[in-house]
Amino acid sequence: MKGLVVYGTRYGTAAEIAEEIAKVIREEGIEVDLLDVKSVKDSDVSLYDLVVVGSGIKMGKWTKQSLKLLKKNKEALANRKVALFVSCGSANEEKTRPEGQEKYLDEVAQKNLINPPVATGLFGSVYDPEAKHGFMYNFYMRFAKKEMEKQGIDPNIRHDYRDWDEIRSWARGLADLLKNE
């Protein structure tokens, strides 16, 4: 049994989630490779029983490379257990911006996979007023800041909206699927 956790990230948030997922699956006794999608070769996915693919979301989109990985490996992935996750701002406020599950996970799975994924994970992001990632990042964070102010949340301190217990439990669920085969 072998698993692959592969992630596409622009600001590092999905990478940290992927690291934790890989760590938990390893702790369950399953061999796991963790790769940045930029370093995956086309044929790599065929070596694995479980393939977890995750991405950060920017302007409603996965990273180009992670979508390309799904598309290029459509046939190979049809014969494997595939799980998808995203890290996005809408997961921080699922009640007011509920588009995440449908747009970023269900639609991506329908368009790019032959068989439905064994699991999907909608995970939150990080708000960090000190982070420096350029114009687009600052623009989005100004919008996030206004939303936080409306909700009475202090925008001057870092907030990690990733629910690490939820992420670990999701990863354990994937390991269980492999172990129970």
Ligand X SMILES: Cc1cc2nc3c(=O)[nH]c(=O)nc-3n(C[C@H](O)[C@H](O)[C@H](O)COP(=O)(O)O)c2cc1C
Query: Where do contacts with ligand X occur on this chain (CB under 6 A)?
Result: 9-14, 56-60, 87-90, 100, 125, 136-137, 140
Owner of token pair 């065929």: 46
Q: Which is nearer to ligand X, 30 or 53 (CB)?
A: 53
Q: Which residue is nearest to ligand X (CB)?
A: 56
Q: Least distance in Å: CB of 170 to ligand X? A: 16
- Alpha helix ranges (H) inside the chain: 13-27, 64-72, 74-78, 99, 107-112, 135-150, 164-179
Mention every residue, 6+ apart, whose C-beta is less than 8 A from residue 132. Answer: none
Q: Least distance in Å: CB of 56 to ligand X? A: 2
Q: Which is nearer to ligand X, 47 or 136 (CB)?
A: 136
Q: Which is nearer to ligand X, 8 or 117 (CB)?
A: 8
Which of 144, 96, 108, 101 lies closest to 122 in space, CA to CA?
101
